[in-house]
A and B are shown apart, each in its own frame.
Chain A
Amino acid sequence: MSEGNGSTDFCMPALGADMEKGTLLEWYVKPGDPVHRGQVIADVDTEKSAIEVEVWTDGIVDEICVPEGAEVPVGTVLARLRPAVPSAVAPAAPAAPAKVPPQAAPRVQPKVQPPARPRVQPPTRPAVPGAMSAAPRVRSSPLVRRRAAQAGIDLAAIPGTGPGGAVVSADLERALAGTHPQSAHQQAHQPAPEPVPEPAAERTPRPRARRSPTADGMRESIARLMTRSKREIPHYYLSTTIDVGPALAWLRERNAGLEVTERLLPVALLLKATALAASEYPDMNGHYVDGRHHPAPTVRLGVPVALRSGGLVTPIVDAAEQLSVFDLNRRLRDVATRARQGALRASDLAEPTLSVTNLGDQGVEAVFGVIYPPQVALVGFGAVSERPWAHDGLLGVRPLVTATLAADHRVSDGHRGGLFLTAVAERLAHPEEL
């Protein structure tokens, strides 16, 4: 965003290091609408997913510069905002009376959030004046709306079974199967999931029909970024095995008295331990730009989330070293859930300073990651599994996890990396201090 003669440009944001262009899917505001810091004002489609984009200044929409459906490079001015006139004199403001309906003000939710933590709980999207005049807005994710639009289906005609009556993908699929004559034809081209998998096959293939239209774009985007990483970053890799018995015992004890929604996931402990260790080892946390490392003042963890439709997105947990494990757990559930719903916001994707990949749920023992440029390290956790372990001269069976580090040799050496990984292990040995 840039400013000149009092107006502010709202530009196509870079939603990830690999994004070069984006498509403006939908505007939620029109000229004359007042906007507030943190308000979602547009949906943008990247090669990875549809993202809700917030505005970070208060003001009034002066001009929409890019129409819905247009694909533009990162940095393109999407809209111009002008400063809001002070509310005390608003009714008398003569500047552009035609564009500023004074009655528009009540639609905007006044500062519903503490300004200190805008990323954690952005305000709910205010009603869209334009949409209100026609019909009540149908609740659904940007992804579902887009797919419905592509299929030429009116979302309002689909009964929603999601939270609050939201139209979810499954509803759309049902509608497509039932009412759209083309769908049967389309599905015939895709291998339908077997009604019952072969007994030998442990794993049912992902239903192909769920593959999103952006899957190919996402694959290209991942390929571009990972190729750049392997070309530019001299990786080194370390691995260590950690006894997470104490951490899991502490977790079980804490969870016993908690509501299901508040229960901690083991991954929250792994992330917190990593964030604390990273705050001690700045050479693992930051960005390598213009030939040198820029350590970051706080730890903004990137947590890759696999999407059901294939590919992944990497939302952030900001200032993870300062969050309690409970707040971190809550934030993680929130972003992971929204990532899968295609309802991430631009601020959820702000540049992470260190990424942590957790393939534990897939059952693999260790993951040796590829660093996301311009980050300088990536921590990986495999599955927690019970394995033989020698402790105090005795052989026992303990829950173990293999933690790995891929780090950038331009910034650190194996010695520093080893100390860092050991610090992660030490943090996990004292879960009550996490």
Chain B
Amino acid sequence: MIAELVIFIILGTVAVATGVAVILSKNPVHAVLFLVINFFSVAMFYLVLSAQFVAFLQILVYAGAIMVLFLFVVMLLNLTGAIESVQDKLPAQKWVGLALGIALLLEAGVVTAAGVFRQVPAAPPPSPNFGTSAPVGVKLFFDYLLPFEVTSVLLLIAIVGSIVLARRRTY
């Protein structure tokens, strides 16, 4: 229990710190690299929550593939030097966002202090292989067969959509 708390505090610190670094980095490539660390710490969160398969998907898909896409977009747009000259069209949004963020934090604090979460019964401890790829596979390929097959159609739509969006007029 104590070990989990220590892990949570370390991971939470890393996740929040890299998240802040993403939005504060002037260099977009640095921001993307901070986002990689952020995704890794989120993957560790999944691991602590015994969602092991999801944790490795997070690393494979997000830290692997999606970050490559982000880097390509950054290099495609070549924003170096353009960042400083960008005019903030909505200067009020910074302060409105800050106020809303503080309001959200206060709300969460009040709800926690009111004891809403204490009424949730403790979940039974998961079995040792809970969240590994085998139980996930059994659920996915037997219980959730239709959603799984529909996913292929979703991927097909995404493939066609990416070609249509990125094609040149001569295709």
Q: Do A and B come from one complex?
A: no
A interface residues, Cβ below 8 angstroms from B: none
